[in-house]
Structures are given as C-alpha cells and as structure tokens.
Amino acid sequence: MITELQLRRPDDWHLHLRDGAGLRAVLPFSAARFARAIVMPNLQPPVTTTAQAAAYRQRILALLPAGSRFQPLMTLYLTDQTGAAEIERAHASGIIFGCKLYPAGATTHSDAGVTDIARLEETLQAMAALDLPLLVHGEVTDAQVDIFEREARFIDRVLAPLVERWPRLRIIFEHVTTRAAVQFVRSARPGVAATITPQHLLLNRNALLAGGIRPHHYCLPILKTELDRRSLLEAVADGDRRFFLGTDSAPHERHTKESACGCAGIFSAHAGIELYAEIFEREGILPRLAGFASEFGADFYRLPRNEGHIVLLKQAWTPPASYPFGEGELVPLRAGEPIAWRLESEAA
Ligand code: NCD
Ligand code: ZN
Ligand code: ZN
C-alpha cells in the first residue's frame, strides 16, 4: 500500500479567495498546497477591469504568509459592457490569464454578469485574437429549467454554438458536473477543457439530503447523480488531459449558508489536494493524480509546470468543525470527519 506520495506542486485552476478579512483567513490554505491559482473575479463589486484586477492581486500578495511563492493568476469578470479595449489591456498586463463568463443570475455574485452572449461579439473576437481563454460558469439561468438540467441545457443552448462560433477561442468549462458535460468536452474541438471539483468527484446529490438538509454540501452547479459522478471519474481515470483540477473552494460565512435561503459554495481549500488524493486512491487511480493536479492545467494555460513538489502522507486527520473567517466562521468540507491523506508540512 502506498503511504507516501510525492507530487509536482499542483495548481488550483478555479479558486475563490474573496477579499479583506475573508481573504486573510483562507489564503494560507491554498498557498500551502498550490503554486498558483486562477483567482475568480466575483467580488462585490466584481473585478471587471485590469486596474481592479491589479489592485486585487496586490491585496492578495500583501496577505501571503512570509516566504510564500504562491502566484495568484487573475481573471476579469465579463459584463455586457466589457469591450475589446479592456481585453487588450488585460492581455497586455501580463497578470490576467482569462475572462470569466457568469450568465447573469447563475450563481453567487453573478448579478452583474452577462445577460446575452450575443452582446459580446467584439469582446470574444478580441479574446480569440489575443489567445486569452474564456472561463465559463456553464448553467442556463432560465427558472423554468430544472436545476439538475441547467448544465446540460447550457451546452445545447450556449456552449456548443459558442465553441463553433469562435474556433480559435480557448474555453474552460468550469466545474463540470454531468455526464453530458464530460461527453461534450471529450468530443469537442481542441482548445476546450474542463475543471473538476473535489465535491463533484466525491459526492452525489444524496449528500444534500442525507438524514436532513445539508447546506454545507450546497454549491452550484448542484451535486448530480451517481451516474454523473461516475462519468467524471471515468474522465480522470483515463488520464484525459482536457480535465484538470479546480477546487472551486468558495467560502461563505456559516450563517449565510445555515439560513432559510443559504448561499451556494463549498469551502475545500483546507484540504484542496488531499480530498482529490483520497478519491483517486479509492478509485485505484492514484497514478493519475499527477497529470490532473500538476500538469494538464498548466499545459492548457500554456504556463510552465511547477518545479517544486509536495509530499502527501496516508495519515487520516480530521478538519475542525469550523475555521475563523473574519468576524465569523467557516464550515469546511468534511468538518469533523476524517480525510485519509495529509499534507506532510502540516503533519503533527
Ligand atoms: C461560487 C461562489 O461562492 O463564489 N459558488 C459555488 O457554489 N460554486 C460561485 C461559482 O463558482 O459558481
Ligand atoms: Zn461557477
Ligand atoms: Zn467557482
């Protein structure tokens, strides 16, 4: 049995770091594990300009633990108003690695998002020309569509036409959750990839209602069926290079989730690589972790693979019931329940 795993230092290709006291609370978890992360721009107000992204990047760097070499890779939040000039500024900045499409109303802090992709013709043309990737929250917002079907409908209605309309645009279908999404990415043209979260590999929708309602398992896209989960696992088991790690760690203060109308988002940065190691081992595909966590994402973004490494130990540990989060607290994924793998530098 493998009890120790040395891994090229991984990257997190989809991460919510928040801002201010929340940022201060969660940043050390990602910095301890990952070399780089694609930082999501859904702050309030959103990060819609290169100048805002540069300022946000400085706030992140200022809060890094001493000696950390963690690199935040910034993104812009597309709105109906984002023009080609902003894309040119973003590209020229050297600090922005993609632009995020949030369909307006699809998820947390997406109100300022795009109401109709047809409004973004010039913007997408500039992104394709400059080879700046488009990152997509892939769910339709039509309230008539069943919440479990919103990702699949997005593929037919928006993503498939988009992929065809812009043959040179590189697109990352973020946090894929369904068999339909896996099939779409696997049969798509080159330049289409996807991130996968730990929760969508570990859990199916039963985890939302196991003995009662479980707000800390609520995220968007919502957890899907066992068949969907198995499709995600098959993609990673095949070592398919179009699928790579993106935790979508999305912290929310406890009371905003434990509420009559709780927020979407699961915090996993405290175990952002360990949870993947656990599921890969359980599936007998631990040798596939290196590609998924440390190679395919860097290759897709055309960035060098990291030089350093981390060590994971097969030693169970139990995350606390909560972590401090500004004035409040944060309930992590697997709170009070054991995780099979531990990061060596955090070993007791
Ligand atoms: C994310 C958040 O809280 O910012 N929530 C989530 O459920 N995934 C937003 C997102 O990634 O859609
Ligand atoms: Zn999203
Ligand atoms: Zn996200």
On whether the pTM is more than 0.85, the answer is yes
- What atom of ligand 1 comes closest to residue 102's alpha carbon? 12
Asked if residue 348 has pLDDT above 80, the reply is no
Closest protein CA for atom 5 of ligand 1 = 265
Q: DSSP assignment, residue 35? A: S
User: How much is the pLDDT for 1?
Assistant: 82
**What whole-number distance in Å separates Cα of residue 58 and Cα of residue 72?**
9
CATH number of 11-307: 3.20.20.140
Q: Ligand 1 centre and the CA of 248: distance in Å? A: 7
- Per-residue three-class SS string for 81-150: CCCHHHHHHHHHHCCEEEEEECECCCCCCCCCCECCHHHHHHHHHHHHHHCCCEEECCCCCCCCCCHHHH
Residue range 174-213, pLDDT digits in tens = 999 999 999 999 999 999 999 999 999 999 999 999 999 9
| Segment 76-93, tens digit of pLDDT | 999 999 999 999 999 999
223 CA from centroid of ligand 2 (Å): 13
- 3-class secondary-structure state, position 279: helix
CB atoms within 10 A of CB 121: 12
Does ligand 1 come within 6 angstroms of the Cβ of 250? Answer: yes
Q: Which of 14, 108, 150, 253 to mutate to test the pocket of ligand 1 (most atoms within 8 A of CB)?
A: 108
Whether residue 134 has pLDDT greater than 90: yes
Please state the rounded mean pLDDT for residues 278-304.
Answer: 98
Tokens of 148: 């479990």
| Conformational region of residue 105, where left means phi above 0, alpha means psi within -120 to 50, and beta covers everything else | left
